[in-house]
Structure 1
Amino acid sequence: MAGAGPGALPAAQALTPPVTMTAEDLPTWQTNGIVFALAEADGVVFAGGTFSAVRPPGAEPGTQERAAGNFVALDAATGEPATGCDLSFTIGSGTAMVRALAVSPDHRTLYAAGSFGSVNGAGASSVAAFALPGCTRIPFPVAANGIVRGLAATADRVYLAGDFTQLNGRAHARFGAVTTAGAVDGNWVADADEIGKAVAVTPDGAHVLLGGDFFRVNGAASHALAVVDAGTGDNVRTYPEGFIERNSTVQVITTDDTGFYVGAEGTGGGVFDGRIALDLDTLDERWRDTCLGATQALAVHGEVLYSGHHAHDCSSMGEFPNQERYHLLAQSVNDPGKLGWFPNTNDGLGEALGPRVLATATDVPGDSRDYLWVGGGFTVVDGTAQWGLTRFATGPDTGAPPTPEAHAAAGPGGGIDLSWAPSSDLDDSLLTYRVYRDGGTSPVHTVQAESLPWSRPQLTWNDAAAAGESHSYRISATDGAGNTSALSAPVTATAAAGGGEPYRDAVLADHPALYWRLDETAGTFASDQSGNGNNGFHRGGPQRGVTPAAVPGPQAASAGYDGTDSFTYSDRLFSGQQRFTLETWFRTTTTRGGKLMGLGNLTVGGPSTSQDDVLYMLDDGRLRFGCVISGGSRVLTTSRSYNDGRWHQVAASIGARGMELYVDGVRTNVNSVFTSARNTSGYWHVGGDSLANWANRPSSDYFAGQLDETAVYPAQLTAARVAAHHDAASLPADSVTALEPTADAYVNGAARGANYGPDQQLAVRGTSAYESYLRFGLPNAPAGQVLKNATLRVRVSDDSASGSADSFAVRPVTGDWQETAVTYDTRPTLGDTALGTLEAPATPGGVYAAPLDPATVRAALGGELDLALTGTGGDSLWFWSREARQTSYHPQLLLTFGAP
Structure 2
Amino acid sequence: MMYATTGRGRAGRGRVRAAAGALCLLAGALSAAAASGGSPAAALTPPVSLTADDLTTWQTNGIVWSMAASDAGVVYTGGTFSTVRPPDAAPGTSERPAVNFAAFDAATGAPTGCSLSFTLSSGTATVRALALSPDQKTLYVGGQFGSVSGVGVSNIAAIDTASCTPRKDFKVSVSATVRALAVTADTVYLGGDFNTVAGQTRNKFAAVTTGAALKPWKANADEIGRAVELTPDRKHVLLGGNFFKVNGTTSHALAVVDATTGAVTKSYPAGFIPNTSTVQDLTTDATGFYTANEGTGGGVFDGRIALDLSDFEQRWRDTCLGATQAVLVHDGVLYSGSHAHDCATMGEFPNQPRKHLLAQSVDDPKLLPWFPDTNDGIGEPVGPRVMAQTDKGGHHYLWVGGEFTTVNGSAQQGLTRFADGPDTGAPWVPNVTLSTLTPGKVVVDWQTSFDTDDGELTYRIYKDGASTPVHTTTGYSLFWDRPQLSWTDTDVAPGETHSYRISASDGTNTSAKSTAVSATVASAAQKYPAKVLADGASLYWRYDEAASTLAGDSSGGRDNGFVRNSPTRRVTPAAVAGPSTAIGLNGSTQYVYSNERHPQPARFSVETWIRTTSTKGGKIVGFGSLTMQNSTQYDKHVYMRDDGRLVFGVKSGSARTVTTPAAYNNGAWHHVVATQGPGGMALYVDGQLRASNALYTGNEKYDGYWRVGGDNLNGWPSRPTSDFFAGQIDETAVYPTALSSSQISAHYALRTAG
TM over 0.5, shorter chain? yes
- CA distance in 1 between counterparts of 2:500 and 2:641 reads 42
Instruction: Quote how far apart the aligned CAs of 1:411 are.
Output: 4.6
Secondary structure at 2:519 match in 1: strand
Amino acid of the structure 2 residue aligned with 1:356: R
Q: 1:547 aligns with which of 563, 572, 578?
A: 572
Structure 2 match to 1:141? 171
Secondary structure at 2:746 match in 1: helix
Amino acid of the structure 1 residue aligned with 2:532: V
Instruction: Quote how far apart the aligned CAs of 1:8 are.
Output: 4.9
- CA distance in 2 between counterparts of 1:11 and 1:463 reads 22
Q: 1:712 aligns with which of 715, 718, 734?
A: 734
Structure 1 match to 2:29? none
Instruction: Quote how far apart the aligned CAs of 1:315 are.
Output: 0.6
Alignment size in residue pairs: 720
Residue correspondence of structure 1 range 863-882 to structure 2 within 5 A: none
Structure 2 match to 1:378? 404
Instruction: Quote how far apart the aligned CAs of 1:597 are.
Output: 0.5
Structure 2 match to 1:16? 45
Unaligned runs of 5+ in 2: 1-32
Contact 2:40 2:506 in 1 (8 A): no
Amino acid of the structure 1 residue aligned with 2:699: A
Q: 1:335 aligns with which of 327, 348, 364?
A: 364
- CA distance in 1 between counterparts of 2:702 and 2:293 reads 29
Structure 2 match to 1:771? none
Structure 2 match to 1:525? 550
Whether 1:592 aligns to 2:642 is: no
CA distances 1:363-393 after superposition (whole Å, capped 9, x unpaired): x2xx111111010011111111111111111
Whether 1:323 aligns to 2:352 is: yes
CA distances 1:280-336 after superposition (whole Å, capped 9, x unpaired): 112111111110000001111111111001000001111111100000011111111
- CA distance in 1 between counterparts of 2:396 and 2:715 reads 53
Secondary structure at 1:724 match in 2: helix
- Alignment RMSD, CA only? 1.5
- CA distance in 2 between counterparts of 1:235 and 1:369 reads 40
Instruction: Quote how far apart the aligned CAs of 1:12 are.
Output: 4.1
Structure 2 match to 1:770? none
Instruction: Quote how far apart the aligned CAs of 1:680 are.
Output: 2.2
Structure 1 match to 2:584? 560
Secondary structure at 2:443 match in 1: strand
Whether 1:678 aligns to 2:700 is: yes
Q: 1:277 aligns with which of 306, 311, 314?
A: 306
Secondary structure at 1:572 match in 2: coil
Structure 2 match to 1:393? 419
CA distances 1:74-97 after superposition (whole Å, capped 9, x unpaired): 1111111101x2110011111100
Which of structures 1 and 2 has the larger relative contact order (alpha carbons within 8 angstroms, sep 6+)?
2
Whether 1:165 aligns to 2:195 is: yes
Instruction: Quote how far apart the aligned CAs of 1:257 are.
Output: 1.0
Amino acid of the structure 1 residue aligned with 2:574: A
Structure 1 match to 2:6? none
Contact 2:437 2:530 in 1 (8 A): no
Instruction: Quote how far apart the aligned CAs of 1:341 are.
Output: 0.9
Structure 2 match to 1:807? none
Structure 1 match to 2:86? 56
Whether 1:436 aligns to 2:495 is: no
- CA distance in 1 between counterparts of 2:38 and 2:47 reads 19
Contact 2:36 2:469 in 1 (8 A): no
Unaligned runs of 5+ in 1: 734-900
Structure 2 match to 1:694? 716
Contact 2:151 2:166 in 1 (8 A): no
Structure 1 match to 2:489? 463
Contact 1:291 1:314 in 2 (8 A): yes
Instruction: Quote how far apart the aligned CAs of 1:9 are.
Output: 4.0
- CA distance in 2 between counterparts of 1:414 and 1:112 reads 73
Structure 1 match to 2:30? none
Structure 2 match to 1:221? 250
- CA distance in 2 between counterparts of 1:654 and 1:320 reads 28
Contact 2:277 2:296 in 1 (8 A): yes
Higher mean Cα deviation, 264-273 or 515-524?
515-524
- CA distance in 2 between counterparts of 1:321 and 1:711 reads 23
Secondary structure at 1:640 match in 2: strand
Structure 2 match to 1:255? 284
Secondary structure at 1:244 match in 2: coil
Secondary structure at 2:460 match in 1: strand
Instruction: Quote how far apart the aligned CAs of 1:279 are.
Output: 1.1
Structure 2 match to 1:881? none
- CA distance in 2 between counterparts of 1:465 and 1:9 reads 19
Contact 2:61 2:84 in 1 (8 A): yes
- CA distance in 1 between counterparts of 2:447 and 2:51 reads 23
Instruction: Quote how far apart the aligned CAs of 1:185 are.
Output: 0.6
Residue correspondence of structure 1 range 724-739 to structure 2 within 5 A: 724-731=746-753, 733=754
Instruction: Quote how far apart the aligned CAs of 1:6 are.
Output: 9.8
Q: 1:639 aligns with which of 641, 644, 661?
A: 661
Residue correspondence of structure 1 range 24-423 to structure 2 within 5 A: 24-41=53-70, 42-83=72-113, 85-138=114-167, 139-186=169-216, 188-362=217-391, 364=392, 367-412=393-438, 415-423=441-449
Instruction: Quote how far apart the aligned CAs of 1:269 are.
Output: 1.2
Amino acid of the structure 1 residue aligned with 2:65: F
Higher mean Cα deviation, 301-310 or 670-679?
670-679
Amino acid of the structure 1 residue aligned with 2:707: H
- CA distance in 2 between counterparts of 1:241 and 1:8 reads 57
- CA distance in 1 between counterparts of 2:636 and 2:400 reads 44
Structure 2 match to 1:778? none
Which one has a bigger Cα radius of gyration? 1
Secondary structure at 2:747 match in 1: helix
Whether 1:609 aligns to 2:622 is: no
CA distances 1:719-740 after superposition (whole Å, capped 9, x unpaired): 1111111112233x3xxxxxxx
- CA distance in 1 between counterparts of 2:439 and 2:600 reads 30
Contact 1:526 1:537 in 2 (8 A): yes
Whether 1:513 aligns to 2:535 is: no
CA distances 1:200-236 after superposition (whole Å, capped 9, x unpaired): 0011111110001111111111111111111111111
CA distances 1:871-890 after superposition (whole Å, capped 9, x unpaired): xxxxxxxxxxxxxxxxxxxx
> How does the TM-score come out when normalised to structure 1?
0.79
Instruction: Quote how far apart the aligned CAs of 1:465 are.
Output: 3.1
- CA distance in 1 between counterparts of 2:337 and 2:585 reads 38
Indicate how the Cα distance of structure 1 residues 346 and 692 shifts in structure 2: closer, same or farther if over 3 A, else same.
same
Instruction: Quote how far apart the aligned CAs of 1:521 are.
Output: 2.0
Structure 1 match to 2:500? 473
Structure 2 match to 1:894? none
- CA distance in 1 between counterparts of 2:515 and 2:551 reads 15
Secondary structure at 1:613 match in 2: strand
> How does the TM-score come out when normalised to structure 2?
0.94
Instruction: Quote how far apart the aligned CAs of 1:183 are.
Output: 0.8
Indicate how the Cα distance of structure 1 residues 11 and 683 shifts in structure 2: closer, same or farther if over 3 A, else same.
closer
Q: 2:643 aligns with which of 604, 615, 620?
A: 620
- CA distance in 1 between counterparts of 2:182 and 2:632 reads 43
- CA distance in 2 between counterparts of 1:532 and 1:318 reads 20
- CA distance in 1 between counterparts of 2:521 and 2:270 reads 64
Indicate how the Cα distance of structure 1 residues 725 and 387 shifts in structure 2: closer, same or farther if over 3 A, else same.
same
Amino acid of the structure 1 residue aligned with 2:499: S
Instruction: Quote how far apart the aligned CAs of 1:502 are.
Output: 1.2
Secondary structure at 1:729 match in 2: helix
Indicate how the Cα distance of structure 1 residues 491 and 7 shifts in structure 2: closer, same or farther if over 3 A, else same.
closer
CA distances 1:778-820 after superposition (whole Å, capped 9, x unpaired): xxxxxxxxxxxxxxxxxxxxxxxxxxxxxxxxxxxxxxxxxxx
Amino acid of the structure 2 residue aligned with 1:235: V
Instruction: Quote how far apart the aligned CAs of 1:470 are.
Output: 2.5
- CA distance in 1 between counterparts of 2:497 and 2:713 reads 43
Amino acid of the structure 1 residue aligned with 2:462: Y
Secondary structure at 1:711 match in 2: strand
Secondary structure at 2:749 match in 1: helix
- CA distance in 1 between counterparts of 2:162 and 2:287 reads 31
Contact 1:5 1:444 in 2 (8 A): no
CA distances 1:34-86 after superposition (whole Å, capped 9, x unpaired): 00001011111110000011111111111111111100011111111101x21
Q: 2:596 aligns with which of 551, 565, 572?
A: 572
Secondary structure at 1:20 match in 2: coil
